[in-house]
Chain A
Amino acid sequence: MSATFLGIPPFPEAARAAVNDSRLRHNLRKATHTIRDKRGAVVTELEDDWERLRSEGAAIKSHTLRHLDHYLEQLEASVERAGGHVHWAADAEEANEIVTRLVRATGETDVVKVKSMATQEIELNNALAEAGITAYETDLAELIVQLGDDLPSHILVPAIHLGRAQIRETFLAQMAEWGVPAPEGLTDDPRALAEAARVHLRERFLRTRTAISGANFAVADSGTLVVLESEGNGRMCLTLPETLISVVGIEKIVPTWADLEVFLQTLPRSSTGERMNPYTSTWTGVTPGDGPQEFHLVLLDNGRTDVLADTVGRQALRCIRCSACLNTCPVYERTGGHAYGSVYPGPIGAILTPQLRGMSSEVDEALPYASSLCGACYEVCPVAIDIPEVLVHLREEVAAGSGHLGEKAVMKGAEAVLGSSHALEAAQRAAGAARNLVPRHLPGMAGAWTDTRDLPDVPAESFRQWWNKHEKGQS
């Protein structure tokens, strides 16, 4: 049974613990700055065309969403025409049941997996484990997370919170339990770690007959599925097994093959900061004599139609999961992904998760506030999702609902103090006089705000005091 996000406290509390973890902050800072610089270089290289690709990508996705019923039916027909089978899952439970049934029908108890956010979202590995089926993650970062019984903390690089020394320890301690052990004398050189993963998974790839994947894109007119990857584990899973099951969110559709002209430029540059990722596989149904001869596509709703119904929030479904917004976000850089309490962390997670889950918990209600609204996420988004706009929209929803009464009480208190100059002066003088005694965190209902922020030092005198003194000196 793998770890789950259930039980992680709301963002302010989880973030407080995260920002106190200096090793985590070091790992995140190093990784996010590396990728930001790489992305910047390959985006700048395309000059003005980047903005055109960005707006075209947004337009394609928006159009598709506005006619999603049409494109879903078209995709279904195209995939079936090419020899694939299409299944529909209204929620996570149904998707897990379908996949479990399909795996059981193969008679296999081991499956290999390509990294997939959709299957993380529905916690497929846990459902399979309950049915006696072991799912082996094959992406290096997913492998690290699985071996360490950890949680993913980033869309693209789920183990971004870990440094090389921690990864080495996990490999040495856990690989033997899952299969081929780590070599003796394993160093923390990334090359050595990648080699250990290659050896660990090699036999598994050659032996396993059923694979599970997601997809980056599903092309309605041709019925083609597309997976972008780097390591070749994706190719192994998509090519060598006899049966392939792909779990794909209904928002992954693009209308035509030609639309890939846009996304195969914007996605690699935005996500890994490369002109192109090492491997992209596309397949259309089944090709006799080449690759899996049984192909199943599971179309997943699981809250997406609720997001679709919100005309402001709908744009979140344009997301192509590049993770540029995570890498550029000052909040994510300091808290990491786990604090968001969801498989989709960072700015996109802060708008996608509460909408997918229907603002059903304290965790969800806190997420729209996990942002300083600086707008960096919108600037880097390759499909121009206005994340700050959706954040503010969701905050309005939270404020209108039962949640965040604390925030309302604070605003009322502030109104009382700021509304009277006498009360304000008294409060400021009291604070100035007692400034050495001021705690780092505000008590009571304002506490959550200062959980993740240091209170600024209280000056010895307030501006009003200084101004009054100065004015007197002048006159």
Chain B
Amino acid sequence: MSTSRERVLARVRAALTDVPADEPVVRPVERPYADSHGMGAALEVLEDRLRDYKALVRRVPADRLAEEVAAALERRGASTVAVPDGIDADWFSRTEAVRRPDSRDRPLELRELDSVDGVVTACAVAIAETGTIVLDGGPDQGRRAITLVPDYHLCVVRADQVVDGVPQGVRRLDPARPLTWISGPSATSDIELNRVEGVHGPRTLEVLLVE
């Protein structure tokens, strides 16, 4: 194995004889592009983009979040939901739905994840311009599998988690954590390049934007 490593590296070096030996390896970072593109107020833009992707979106005042979580689960007919075990218990104070907590130490079986009616999580960051919600595996977001296997994902996004553009989002995130960037429900464009929502990931994404 080490011989292949040396072979490839030697071939790379042999290919680069035109590069001056004193050319700096570190590139000066100028970032000449924009942090965001002035598309409008972040929450308005985020809502517009999510709707464009056929996600369900509701803007909710912070003091009504528990009612809105309960109402969303009821509309969906979700009586059992997976939740990351670090999620805020207050969000569930008004719902009858049964919660199945999941954690890295006590993970739910795949079969159980496949049988729940949905999953409820928070998020790490949301990017307005691209309608993107990013999960980073934090205690209120959980393992990647829990937001993947159930068919319905209810995600709570706080206004202070929303940035305008992609560069701002990247800067808030820690690459050491496993990240999942979600822009609408799963979709495919593989048949005649027409977008169809709903393939392997959750076919319904509902977002509560808390102001």
> Does B associate with A?
yes
User: In the complex the two chains form, is B16's CB within 8 Å of A291's CB?
Assistant: no
Judge if B176 is at the interface, Cβ distance under 8 Å. Answer: yes
Judge if A419 is at the interface, Cβ distance under 8 Å. Answer: no
User: In the complex the two chains form, is B194's CB within 8 Å of A283's CB?
Assistant: no
Judge if A301 is at the interface, Cβ distance under 8 Å. Answer: yes
User: In the complex the two chains form, is B193's CB within 8 Å of A157's CB?
Assistant: yes
CA distance A283 to B79 in the complex (A): 32
User: In the complex the two chains form, is A205's CB within 8 Å of B25's CB?
Assistant: no
Among A56, A66, A278, max chain B CB count under 10 A is at A278
CA distance A230 to B178 in the complex (A): 18
The segment out of B4-12, B59-67, B92-100, B117-125 that lies at the interface is B4-12
- Pick from A59, A198, A289: contact of B199, CB below 8 A: A198
User: In the complex the two chains form, is B194's CB within 8 Å of A66's CB?
Assistant: no
User: In the complex the two chains form, is B104's CB within 8 Å of A289's CB?
Assistant: yes
Judge if B110 is at the interface, Cβ distance under 8 Å. Answer: yes
Chain B residue at minimal CB-CB distance from A50: B33
The 27 sampled A-B contact pairs (Cβ below 8 Å) are A30-B193, A45-B37, A49-B34, A52-B32, A67-B23, A68-B12, A69-B16, A87-B4, A94-B4, A140-B199, A159-B191, A190-B191, A202-B200, A230-B189, A231-B186, A231-B187, A236-B200, A236-B201, A258-B31, A264-B181, A265-B130, A275-B183, A278-B184, A284-B177, A290-B145, A291-B145, A305-B14
- Pick from A163, A205, A261, A289: contact of B105, CB below 8 A: A289
Judge if B180 is at the interface, Cβ distance under 8 Å. Answer: yes
Judge if B75 is at the interface, Cβ distance under 8 Å. Answer: no
Binary A-proximity of B179-210 (CB < 8 A = 1, otherwise 0): 11111111111111111101111100000000
User: In the complex the two chains form, is A88's CB within 8 Å of B5's CB?
Assistant: yes
Known A232-B199, A305-B11; judge A284-B148 contact (CB<8 A): no
CA distance A89 to B8 in the complex (A): 8
User: In the complex the two chains form, is B8's CB within 8 Å of A231's CB?
Assistant: no
> Within the complex, what minimum Cβ distance (angstroms) separates B202 from chain A?
8
Judge if A361 is at the interface, Cβ distance under 8 Å. Answer: no
- Pick from A193, A275, A309: contact of B14, CB below 8 A: A309
CA distance A219 to B173 in the complex (A): 14
**Top 9 nearest A-B pairs by Cβ distance?**
A232-B201, A289-B104, A232-B200, A309-B15, A276-B130, A280-B181, A305-B11, A231-B199, A232-B186
Interface of A toward B, CB cutoff 8 Å: 27, 30-31, 34-35, 45-47, 49, 52-53, 55-56, 59-60, 63, 66-70, 72-73, 82, 87-90, 94, 138-141, 144, 157, 159-160, 163-164, 167, 190-191, 193-195, 197-198, 201-202, 205-206, 219, 222, 224, 230-233, 235-236, 238-240, 250, 255, 257-258, 260-262, 264-265, 268, 272, 274-284, 287-291, 299, 301, 305-306, 308-309, 311
Judge if B164 is at the interface, Cβ distance under 8 Å. Answer: no
Could you tell me the dominant secondary structure of chain B's interface residues? loop
User: In the complex the two chains form, is B180's CB within 8 Å of A258's CB?
Assistant: no
- Pick from B9, B143, B182, B184: contact of A73, CB below 8 A: B9
- Pick from B176, B178, B184, B199: contact of A291, CB below 8 A: B178
> Within the complex, what minimum Cβ distance (angstroms) separates A220 from chain B?
11
> Within the complex, what minimum Cβ distance (angstroms) separates A393 from chain B?
15
> Which residues of A sit under 8 angstroms from B194, Cβ to Cβ?
34, 190
Chain B residue at minimal CB-CB distance from A262: B33
> Within the complex, what minimum Cβ distance (angstroms) separates B209 from chain A?
17
Judge if B170 is at the interface, Cβ distance under 8 Å. Answer: yes
User: In the complex the two chains form, is B196's CB within 8 Å of A194's CB?
Assistant: yes
CA distance A205 to B25 in the complex (A): 42
User: In the complex the two chains form, is A265's CB within 8 Å of B184's CB?
Assistant: no
> Which residues of A sit under 8 angstroms from B76, Cβ to Cβ?
none
> Which residues of A sit under 8 angstroms from B195, Cβ to Cβ?
272, 274
User: In the complex the two chains form, is B148's CB within 8 Å of A236's CB?
Assistant: yes
CA distance A88 to B23 in the complex (A): 26
> Which residues of A sit under 8 angstroms from B31, Cβ to Cβ?
56, 258, 261
User: In the complex the two chains form, is B148's CB within 8 Å of A239's CB?
Assistant: yes
User: In the complex the two chains form, is B15's CB within 8 Å of A87's CB?
Assistant: no
CA distance A167 to B191 in the complex (A): 8
- Pick from B14, B33, B178, B199: contact of A49, CB below 8 A: B33
User: In the complex the two chains form, is A282's CB within 8 Å of B178's CB?
Assistant: yes
Chain B residue at minimal CB-CB distance from A308: B15
CA distance A307 to B129 in the complex (A): 37
CA distance A321 to B32 in the complex (A): 24
CA distance A454 to B183 in the complex (A): 46
Judge if B58 is at the interface, Cβ distance under 8 Å. Answer: no
Judge if B107 is at the interface, Cβ distance under 8 Å. Answer: yes
